[in-house]
Structure 1
């Protein structure tokens, strides 16, 4: 008889949380939601608690705790209310769950992700910052506690699936991540100077939040994924590659030393990778249709243009530098993207600001989470100051040649 997997969904009110809960609800005999967490959206969290009846609900914003507690009581739900980061860490590390879906956006999800890894849980990882900012620490914690990390970004989940056919690490010659190319694929750098917020967030294939959509438009998202892949699969940067694939049907490829290349294909729907993570090593129904290649018509591939989209080049440089460099890259990018979305800077200022931060904050050893968070804060301050100067001058710099 299959045991029931108890699951904490961190970031339950976001798009990944919605997809995860959809998959979980399809398998009541083997999957149960035991913990739900959200940042500030109390009403949305209460609605999810009414639908999924978890044992615990956590709201990050302490000012929202009374509303959560009273809302659960008024609805007649037995779900226990909690608030704050410490409460969430205790729940993911304790007996409340055996599986954690880490989908909290940004550095806010870092400590709970580390807590789950240190507790030896199955960790379905969507929080990029955990690997970009603290990949060395996270993988060391997971390895020390025999935690099982299954990435649920489509590209890394594809690699995870393809790698199941290998026997040793030496069997792998190369891992290739695919990129849709975003809304500006094929455009020159000069033509990108005047693109708008609305154009940048109009992703051709995926429905994502504004920040991730802009990262896709600059190709920074793919750069961050290279850093993630390096840590997840313990593979050096020189064995990682990127191909632009506008149809977004081939999610990644793994080339082996015998000349074989395995690719994972599927419709662009996050529920597939979530089902892999929740059911592995078994396959379970996700609600996603199969891939009809005849209906799709064709598959195209091309090299990324790092002149028009220098963020990918900058991510390569940060990966090669190691240590705190990826933390600087990530922090500077978050500040720059936020400024672009607010209309304070132009699109081409994003890579320029990131490059400036990397140049001004040379890589240092990533010795502790505190050191990495201090670097993160320093890079944010530096970049915010540069944004303010840029906004005042109304001049938009272009990346260095």
Structure 2
């Protein structure tokens, strides 16, 4: 049976790697997967190539000019503005959209009772109280694509009664490009150095988040939302080789870990094939060459964003949405040269100090929280 796949954010890192996984699987077993829908922002040239290669039924383009251009160049495909339209023609929706913009795809996929392969952590973090009830929709499945949460998902499958038996979730962090550096040494960080990740090839926003450990902090919030584990039982450990992707410690002292060489193809394939495993062996380890696995605690004084995420998660309500929005604005400012790297955390601190304590009950509440936090973050950056 052919699995129909929609790829939201098809021109980004997750989107292009999803296509590579599908092509590899179809090479092994022709017709296993069919890409029926794509969405992108404005990268029309790349989308044109994807349309001609994959022949989807529908493509959503956020940018109006790109939408018109795509329809002119690919008259046989239906071109729309709303990425939520992708859900109707898919069995699995891969949400690889970066940032808060991925919320609509998350909500509409779960609401339609489809499987959501979620790489967009911000939509779950910002809208957790709104998204959680939708996970109970008949047929809805949420399978995480983040390497760490995919690892936790696999480890938890080994437990007979996970709620009772799980003692701790341990998220691993590579430490990013600045592991071991002091705050003083990071006073004049360049964009180029922040984007030089030692083990992962990711988009610029996520790569900067990895350099500040905000990425790991947001993953802590996401782990709480995905698995319901209290924050006091979610820990972070730095593991520079990025081979152990996360671990679960059980009540009897046993720890189960998921290991593979660092590649996003594996968690993407896991989400596409779930509950089965795909046949292409992405991330296989050559145990004759893997000489060591190192672990160390994170430097929370230098990388302050990690504890900011714990703080926002414990406050709950719209606090995670405020943090996510403030961080997006601050990272955009850093990438454009308007914010120093070590000021990203400062902006987030200042925004959280003005949090209004609202608990969201609707998507509109989440959108309003995001907009308010962005406006405050922009004001703070202007004042700086």
- Report TM bin, short chain: over 0.9
SS at match of 1:294: coil
In structure 1, what is the equivalent of residue 125 of structure 2? 132
Structure 1: how far apart are the matches of 2:291 and 2:86? 47
Give, in angstroms, the shift of residue 289 of structure 1: 4.6
In structure 2, what is the equivalent of residue 393 of structure 1? none
Task: Pick closer, same or farther for the CA change 1:228–1:25 going to 2, 3 Å.
Answer: same
Structure 1: how far apart are the matches of 2:283 and 2:168? 29
2:86 corresponds to 1:91: yes
- 1:141-191 CA-to-partner distances (Å, cap 9, x unmatched) read 122344111101100000011110112211111100000001111111122
Structure 1: how far apart are the matches of 2:299 and 2:138? 41
In structure 1, what is the equivalent of residue 43 of structure 2? 41
TM alignment of 1:1-400, pairs within 5 A? 3-26=1-24, 27=26, 28-73=30-75, 78=76, 80-85=77-82, 88-92=83-87, 94=88, 96-168=89-161, 169-286=163-280, 288-390=282-384
User: Which stretch has the larger CA shift, 142-151 or 231-240?
Assistant: 142-151
Checking the alignment, whether the CA contact within 8 Å between 2:213 and 2:305 is kept in structure 1 is: yes
Give, in angstroms, the shift of residue 211 of structure 1: 1.3
Structure 1: how far apart are the matches of 2:70 and 2:135? 32
SS at match of 2:297: coil
- 1:224-270 CA-to-partner distances (Å, cap 9, x unmatched) read 00011111112111110100000000000011112211100001111
SS at match of 1:36: strand
Checking the alignment, whether the CA contact within 8 Å between 1:23 and 1:287 is kept in structure 2 is: no
- 1:17-60 CA-to-partner distances (Å, cap 9, x unmatched) read 11111111122332111111111111111101111111222212
SS at match of 1:293: coil
- Alpha carbon RMSD of aligned pairs, Å? 1.3
Structure 1: how far apart are the matches of 2:86 and 2:257? 37
- Detail structure 1 runs of 4+ shifted over 6 Å in the superposition: none
How many residues of Structure 1 are paired with residues of Structure 2 in the alignment? 379
Structure 1: how far apart are the matches of 2:360 and 2:291? 46
Checking the alignment, whether the CA contact within 8 Å between 1:62 and 1:83 is kept in structure 2 is: no
Q: Unaligned stretches of 5+ in structure 2?
A: none
Checking the alignment, whether the CA contact within 8 Å between 2:115 and 2:140 is kept in structure 1 is: yes
Structure 1: how far apart are the matches of 2:335 and 2:47? 27
Give, in angstroms, the shift of residue 83 of structure 1: 2.1
Checking the alignment, whether the CA contact within 8 Å between 1:9 and 1:17 is kept in structure 2 is: yes
Structure 1: how far apart are the matches of 2:137 and 2:353? 34
Give, in angstroms, the shift of residue 112 of structure 1: 1.8
Give, in angstroms, the shift of residue 374 of structure 1: 0.9
Structure 2: how far apart are the matches of 1:66 and 1:377? 28
Checking the alignment, whether the CA contact within 8 Å between 2:9 and 2:15 is kept in structure 1 is: yes
Checking the alignment, whether the CA contact within 8 Å between 1:65 and 1:81 is kept in structure 2 is: no
Checking the alignment, whether the CA contact within 8 Å between 1:10 and 1:103 is kept in structure 2 is: yes
Give, in angstroms, the shift of residue 91 of structure 1: 3.2
Structure 1: how far apart are the matches of 2:345 and 2:138? 38
Checking the alignment, whether the CA contact within 8 Å between 2:103 and 2:124 is kept in structure 1 is: no
SS at match of 1:277: helix
User: Which stretch has the larger CA shift, 286-295 or 346-355?
Assistant: 286-295
Give, in angstroms, the shift of residue 139 of structure 1: 2.1
Q: Which has the higher contact order (CA 8 A, sep 6+)?
A: 2
Structure 1: how far apart are the matches of 2:119 and 2:381? 29
Give, in angstroms, the shift of residue 287 of structure 1: 5.5
TM-score in terms of structure 2 length: 0.96
